[in-house]
Amino acid sequence: MNHRKLANQSVVEIGLGAMNLSHAYGTPPEPAAAKALLHAALDLGINHIDTAALYGFGRNEELVGETLQPFRQRFFLASKCGMTGVNGKRVIDGRPETLKQTCKEALRRLRTDVIDLYYLHRWDKKVPVEDSVGGLADLVREGHIRAIGLSEVSAQTLRKAHAVHPIAAVQSEYSLWTRNPEIGLLTVCRELGTALVAFSPLARGFLANGVPDPRDFVEKDIRRGMPRFHPPHFGRNRKLLDQFNRIAWEAGCTPAQLALAWLLAKAPFVLPIVGTTSIAHLEEDIAASKVRLSADTLATLEKLINADTVSGSRYPPETLAEIDTEETPNAG
């Protein structure tokens, strides 16, 4: 695969988000299968692994640490703080003392002395972002983390944080059907030299034809609470896929590879991370690094799937209230 810069290190341009192995989309795989996928990722050349204290309330960090500790020098390790599980409930807490304690626990779970990139998973709006970043800057000086990132923040918040300490990366949902970073964040990332790590680049499976019927989502699948997967929005969005799939066929790639190739073409500082429990899907995804799309194909995709053609908001109102990302108008 091709490489791109992340926190002054060279990593492959498509990384692995480990969340699916412990959290979010229903029953996670058995431990043996999860470990096999992590080993396969390294064997395939993936050297950017992303996790968080939130995922499985610490279990995902434990999984990554237990499985990959013997190979720690072979990959770039990213994790997150500021949103964790407390007494079985998700809590956003950006106080510096909390972030430092979370980091201490993460280092133990991950079985490492240092985390390459540590994100503030959510900006706690009760705490000035400058204070939270100041706490993370202490962790850099103490050698516990190498670089600081932010997640789900606006361009304005990125500027404020960057004034306290350089922000190496912002992690934001970015795909053909979630174009929020294009409102302002991409421009500021380019200006500041900040990478944009794009999560859910396949629209939570939608652009990979992985959502035939949302009624089949299991009880703990977080997509059950996302308006785009509810009627009437899903029916409207589903109509976009026929032409999308035809474009993929004409480009000689799969729909998943088409979505990733579009994202890689947006800017050299955009790095998607894919999440899957399937080694076959992971192999398919990283092959997108070889796909080259013509200017005409890129323009057709932009016209087909965008903020005006996608129906419904990406999160329910209560989640939108928690995050700081600029939001496009609701298309639905």
Please spell the DSSP secondary structure of 284-313, one letter per residue.
HHHGGGG----HHHHHHHHHHSSTTTS-S-
Q: Low-confidence residues of the chain, pLDDT below 50?
A: 331-332
290 bridge partner residues: none
Contact (Cβ atoms closer than 8 angstroms) between residue 137 and residue 164: yes
Using alpha carbons, select from 165, 159, 132 the residue that is nearest to residue 146: 165
Contact (Cβ atoms closer than 8 angstroms) between residue 21 and residue 49: no
* Length of the chain in terms of residues written: 332
Instruction: List pLDDT tens digits, range 190-224.
Output: 999 999 999 999 999 999 999 999 999 998 899 99
Per-residue confidence (pLDDT) for residue 331, from 0 to 100 = 41
Per-residue confidence (pLDDT) for residue 76, from 0 to 100 = 98
Per-residue confidence (pLDDT) for residue 167, from 0 to 100 = 98
Instruction: Report the alpha-carbon distance of residue 240 to residue 11 in Å, rounded.
Output: 33
Give the residue carrying structure tokens 């950006």. Answer: 94
Contact (Cβ atoms closer than 8 angstroms) between residue 149 and residue 169: yes
- Domain-wise residue ranges, the chain: 3-206+266-286
Helices 31-43, 59-68: inter-axial angle, 10-degree rounding:
50
Per-residue confidence (pLDDT) for residue 328, from 0 to 100 = 79
Q: Which two three-digit tokens encode residue 224?
A: 């059950």
What global pTM score does this model have? 0.97
Q: Which two three-digit tokens encode residue 275?
A: 């999440």
Half-sphere exposure of 209 (CA within 13 A, CB side): 13
For the domain made up of 3-206+266-286, the CATH class stated in words is: alpha beta
Per-residue confidence (pLDDT) for residue 330, from 0 to 100 = 55
Instruction: List pLDDT tens digits, range 261-293.
Output: 999 999 999 999 999 999 999 999 999 999 999
Strand ranges inside the chain, DSSP E = 3-6, 9-12, 15-17, 48-50, 76-81, 83-86, 89-92, 117-120, 148-151, 167-173, 195-199, 270-274
Q: Is 55 a catalytic residue?
A: yes
Give the angle subtended at the CA of 8 by the CAs of 6 and 14, to the nearest 5°.
Answer: 20
Catalytic-labelled residue, pool 25, 55, 118, 174: 55
Bridge-based pairing of strands 117-120 and 9-12 is unpaired
Contact (Cβ atoms closer than 8 angstroms) between residue 81 and residue 119: yes
Per-residue confidence (pLDDT) for residue 307, from 0 to 100 = 95
